Structures are given as structure tokens and as C-alpha cells.
Amino acid sequence: MSVYHVAVTGSDAADGSAATPLRTINRAAALARPGDTVRVHEGEYREWVRPARGGLGDRRRITYEAAAGERVVIKGSERVTTWEREDGDVWRAEIPNALFGDFNPFAHEVEGDWLVPPATGERTHLGEVYLNGRSFYEVHDRAAVTDPPVRTEAVDGWTGTPEPLPDPDQTRFVWYAEVGADVTTVWAAFPGADPNAELVEINVRRSVFYPTEHHLDYITVRGFELAQAATPWAPPTADQPGLVGPNWAKGWIIEDNVIHDAKASAVSLGKEISTGHNFSTLRGDKPGYQYQLESVFAARQIGWDREHVGSHVVRRNTIFDCGQNGIVGHLGAVFSRIEDNHIHHIATKREYYGYEIAGIKLHAAVDVQIVHNRIHDCTLGTWLDWQTQGTRVARNLFYANTRDLFVEVSHGPYVVDHNVLASRVALEVFSQGGAFVNNLVGGAVRLEQVLDRATPYHRPHSTQVSGYAVVYGGDDRYVGNLFLGGDADRAFRPGSLGHRLATFGTHGYDGCPPTFDDYLASVERTGGDHQRFHGLRQPAYVHHNTYANGAAPYEREKDALVVDDAVTFVVVDEGDEVYVEATVPEAVAGPRVGPVTGADLPPVRFADADFEEPDGSPVDVRTDLLGRDKEPGTSYPVGPLAALATGTSRTRVW
């Protein structure tokens, strides 16, 4: 096993030893074989790293790592120092198109399936301008560079509520580009700055660390800063390139990196192009929903299974300032683990909008474990869409998002446990087959049937499709959660569908039978085949939850506790540390429910599957937000903390 060293003082004609390092990471990638390590030393590297080969197993990986204690930055951008002042704060630069090669981000629009074009018809481009690391806003005519529009907020496309921009002053920093045959001309406003004296960059490369070939398996990417890539819009019906990712492979580890400023998505665990690429937009003959169904079967035909795809680990990364997603993936994320990441400020610039935006946005998250992540200041924290089966969302900290967790058109079984869901819209369930255990649900809950889209479910722990179903509502389990009331006007625009369907607590399940036997008794035996199930909501298995501040229980809940005293939980962000400051009465802090296991959770109806760990053993939901294990036979407070003090408390949760 060899170690190849790379340094900014090196030469690609060298042998890559510590004494005579290589100059580029790509040269080292061309030499590295299974079991080898590419060790990159301090400095800035402007290249798209495209591994030439992968490892041969978990013990024979190819590892790319920053040298210990050294800051290594890999960028998809190039510096521009040829700015000429035009007028006041407006400067102009002419950039030879040769710099871009065969991909000029300033010539490509953000486009594809499920993107919602603005009413004005103006399209955002993949190009970007950065001043000292901060991205600018694009404007769509030359005059607007001199007189940029003042923006302080944007309307969230899903909730309809106005959202403040994270830094309204930054909207004065704008750019406009015209692409010619040989030159791309960029005009930009630099209020109070000289772009030739400061660090000004433009994005040039689509990705930063991303293979162009499939099935380069068992690669580790560790310890880098990865930034400024012109990644395209990544819906589930298209190729999904990211700033970094495996590109349809198995067994990658992406850990301990700082990843930021992807135009669309940062980490991609997504699908590849042969299974469909924006056909709904390009052809206009079928909805994206239909093409997405087709992509599932197309993926099966090219080896979408545990042996060839997925089983990645994404951990301890800091991911921020991306336009679409922190982590994205359709199909390719199966059997993966996403843990200990800090994801923030995703899609908060609001330069474009579509239905595929979130801190984490996964389709077909089969047996994916999303554990102990800190996700905040995103338009949507985590969105699990289609085929959420065997999925676990545990011990995560969600706060200051427009919406925290959305599970759509899935059939379970999936488990959401010991999370803090503290944003004003905490939980949206357009699915069935979920188990919600020991969560703090501090915002609105929105439930919705989906009767016009049948989506797949699988054999347990497999990508093999078993069948399809629509979402009738119900078939969910709620045990040991703490629900807080709130203001629906703050959660959704008054009069909107979300506002009409928003609840605080579980009373949105009113009308569901409390047991499976009660459900079966409601099914008419003489009404034809499938017609007799129409209009019937499925069981709601709801017990031992606590409700405060106006939140209300399911009408047939067992052992519900409704607290009249005020209860407060406030997430306090102090940078590297996060605290929960709580004020709770004795009734809330006292023991209410024991550890939950798979034996306590009835099997889901459509997939006819039990709640299990990825290895097939019964799920064990006993570890709290802070990593403390609960003892069998002992009762604990509701919510994510196994120990909760009566009165006022302050607990570090990150």
C-alpha cells in the first residue's frame, strides 16, 4: 500500500513521495490503486478531482485525505483579477471562454423537472461570482447592476409565507453576464470594494470531487474544504451530480469535510443519467411522477441492489450555503448512514424554487439511517420522498427552519425518534407506516392523504419492488412524544391549504380507528374488491403522548396527558454549542413511558413489514438525544431527553 503526497509546491513529474510530492490531486488519483492513500498538503487546489479507480472492499479502500492539521481547500472556481471599473461600484471583466472548456456555467440555466419557473420568465444561471467567499445575486439585465433591486425577504413557495433573507445587505452585490462566441463578459457591483485587490472568484467547474465513471467503489474523502461548484438542478428524474459524491457506486465514506457553495447540491448520493434525465420537462408528454416510476424499474435493470449501489457513510461534515440541497439522492443512497453532520443555510438565498429543496432530500431511502445531525436555517430540514422504508431518523436537532421534517408518499415502516423538531412547522406526514417515538414536536403538524399517486414499496431490506399503494392516511404510531401548541398563522399563510390542515398535536388523526381490528370491522365485505377500501382511513396507534400550550390529542388516544401549565422549550444557538432551555411542570418531567422496541409497534399494512433494524432484528428505540440508553422496565419522561428536570433547565444538546 502506497501513500502519494500532493503539495502546491510539487510537480506532476515527481514520484509523489513526501520528499518530492505531486502538484495535482488528479495526478495522484491516476496513480492510486486499491489500498493506497492520497495525502494532500496545505494549500488551495483548483481542480475537479475525478478518481480513476475505486477500492476493492472496506479494507482495501482508496483514501483521499488532507494531511493532519493542515487546511486543504479544493475549489471549482477560478480567481479573476482583470476587472475594469465602469461606473461607481460597477466593474466589468472579460473572461476567455477557453477558461471554462466545454462547460460554461454562465451559459447554462437552472432547469429540469419539478423546477418552478418564476412568473417573470427570468431564469437563474449556474454561474456565480464570489467576493471573499460570499456569493452574489444574479440580476437579469445590465441596468440592474447599477441599480440593484432591494430585497429583504422572499415568499416560501411551499408555505406561502414571507421569509427574511439571511443577509439583505448582500443583495446589493449582484452580477450579470453575457456569453459570446469567445468571451464571457461579467458585470458586477462591488459596493465599497476593489475586486482586483480583494479575492474575487467565479465558478468554472461543475463538480469538485466526483467521478465521471460509475462503480468506482470504496473511496474515502476526508478532511477537506470543498467549495464553489456549478452543480445543476438535481431532481429525482435526472442525473444528480453534486459538488462531491460517488456517482452510482458503493461504499464511499465522506467525512470530516467542510462543504459549501454548491449552486444546487453539495453531497450527492443520487441516481445516474441512463435511468432518465428530465424527460418530463424535455418531452412534455408524461408527468414527472410517471417518469420517476419508470426510473425505479430502469435502475433495477442496471443493478440497483445492495451488492452494487449505496452503503455510503456521510459523517461529521459541515455543509452550508447551497442553493438546493446539502445532501441529495434518488436510489443511490440505499443502505447508507448519514450522521453527525451540521447542515445549515440551504436554499435561503431563494434565487430559484422547485419541489426538490431541503437540507437532506432523499428518494428511496431504503434502510438509510439519519442520526444525530444538526439541521437549521434551511427552507426545509429533511424531506424523505417515496419509498421511505426501513429508514430511521433519530436524535437529530432541527430548528430555525421554515419546515423541519416532511415524509411524502411512502408506506413504511420508518421510525422517527428522539428528535428535536423546534421550527414553526415541525412535521408534515403525507405518508403512512411511520412510528414517531419520544420526539419534541414544537411546531405545527400537517397530515394529508395522497390518493392520486400510487408509489412503490419493497420487500424488507431490499430494493426489490413488492407493490404500489396510495396514501389513505393513518397507519401511523405515536408513542411518548411531547407536543407543543402554536400559531397556525405563523406556520402557513392564512387561507392556504397548509393553514387549513395544520394542527398542533395528533388530533389530525381524529376519525381513524384505534386498532387494526376496528379498521377491519369497518371494511364492507360486499362492496366489490378495492372499492370497499375507498374513503377509509387506517388505524392510528397513539398512546402515552403529552400535550401542552394548546396542542390536542387524538380523540381515542390511550393515556394522553394534557397539561394546562405553560411549557417552553427554546433552542439557543451559541455557535459550536447548542442548548435547549426548558421550563416544564412536574407532570411533564415525570416518568411516563418505557423504552420502545419493535414488539411495541404494530406492523405496517401495505408493506406487511415489521419495524426492524437494517440487520432484520427488532428495532430498538431506546437511545435518547444525548446518546444515553434507557433501561428496559424503567419509565422515562416523554420527549427526546431521558432526564428532564422539573422547572427551568439548560441542557447542552450539541
Q: Could you tell me if 17 and 127 lie in one domain?
A: no
As to burial, measured by CB atoms within 10 angstroms (0-12 exposed, 13-18 middle, 19+ buried), residue 53 is middle
The mean per-residue pLDDT over the stretch 260-279 comes to 97
The whole-angstrom separation of Cα 360 and Cα 383 is 6
3-state secondary structure 162-190: EEECCCHHHHHCEEEEEECCCEEEEEEEC
Confidence category of residue 368, pLDDT binned at 50, 70, 90: very high
Q: What's the pTM value of the predicted model, to 2 decimals?
A: 0.97
The whole-angstrom separation of Cα 280 and Cα 287 is 6
285: Cβ–Cβ under 8 A, 6 or more apart, which residues? none
Q: CA 500 → CA 160, 198, 446, 496, distances in Å?
A: 13, 50, 9, 6
pLDDT of residue 158: 80
Task: Name the domain boundary from 163, 178, 203.
Answer: 203
pLDDT digits (tens, 9 = 90+) for 78-97: 999 999 999 999 999 999 99
Residue 388 lies in a domain: yes
Evaluate whether 536 touches 527 at the Cβ level (below 8 Å): no
Q: Could you tell me if 477 and 609 lie in one domain?
A: yes
Query: What's the CA angle centered on 405, arms 500 and 109, to 5 degrees?
Result: 95
Q: Could you tell me if 44 and 87 lie in one domain?
A: no
pLDDT digits (tens, 9 = 90+) for 172-231: 999 999 999 999 999 999 999 999 999 999 999 999 999 999 999 999 999 999 999 999
Q: Could you tell me if 548 and 626 lie in one domain?
A: yes
- At 544 the three-state DSSP class reads coil
pLDDT digits (tens, 9 = 90+) for 441-454: 999 999 999 999 99
Residue 185 lies in a domain: yes
Q: Could you tell me if 48 and 108 lie in one domain?
A: no
Residue 319 lies in a domain: no
pLDDT of residue 167: 82
Taking all residues of the chain, what is their mean pLDDT, rounded to a whole number? 96
Which H or E run contains 331?
A: none
First to last CA, the chain: 38
pLDDT of residue 14: 98
Residue 573 lies in a domain: yes
CATH number at residue 106: 2.60.40.1180
Place of cell 420522498: 385
Instruction: Find the farthest-apart pair of alpha carbons in the chain and give their distance in angstroms, rounded.
Output: 83
CATH number at residue 406: 2.160.20.10
Place of cell 453527525: 340
528: Cβ–Cβ under 8 A, 6 or more apart, which residues? none
Confidence category of residue 117, pLDDT binned at 50, 70, 90: confident
Q: Could you tell me if 378 and 505 lie in one domain?
A: yes
Residue 451 lies in a domain: yes
Overall number of domains in the chain: 3
The whole-angstrom separation of Cα 323 and Cα 262 is 7
pLDDT digits (tens, 9 = 90+) for 508-559: 999 999 999 999 998 987 678 888 888 889 999 999 999 999 999 999 999 9
Domain limits for position 50: 3-58
Q: CA 579 → CA 381, 585, 654, distances in Å?
A: 19, 19, 7
Q: Could you tell me if 380 and 482 lie in one domain?
A: yes
- Say whether the peptide bond before residue 413 is cis (omega within 30 degrees of 0): yes
β-strand partners of 188: 91, 175
Residue 347 lies in a domain: no
Other beta carbons less than 10 A from residue 81's beta carbon: 11
Evaluate whether 2 touches 36 at the Cβ level (below 8 Å): yes
Task: Name the domain boundary from 169, 203, 237.
Answer: 203
DSSP character at residue 461: T
pLDDT of residue 149: 83
pLDDT of residue 526: 66
Task: Name the domain boundary from 151, 182, 203.
Answer: 203
- Taking the CA atoms of residue 620, residue 623, residue 625 and residue 628 in that order, the dihedral angle to the nearest 10 degrees is 180
Residue 214 lies in a domain: no
The whole-angstrom separation of Cα 611 and Cα 604 is 8
Q: Could you tell me if 586 and 630 lie in one domain?
A: yes
What share of the chain in percent tops pLDDT 90? 90
Residue 498 lies in a domain: yes
Residue 500 has pLDDT above 70, yes or no: yes
Q: Could you tell me if 31 and 165 lie in one domain?
A: no
The whole-angstrom separation of Cα 594 and Cα 133 is 49
pLDDT digits (tens, 9 = 90+) for 410-423: 999 999 999 999 99
Other beta carbons less than 10 A from residue 535's beta carbon: 9
Q: Could you tell me if 47 and 85 lie in one domain?
A: no
pLDDT of residue 497: 80
Evaluate whether 482 touches 441 at the Cβ level (below 8 Å): yes
For residue 337 the three cell numbers come to 448512514
Q: Could you tell me if 93 and 194 lie in one domain?
A: yes
For residue 282 the three cell numbers come to 424535455
Q: Could you tell me if 27 and 83 lie in one domain?
A: no
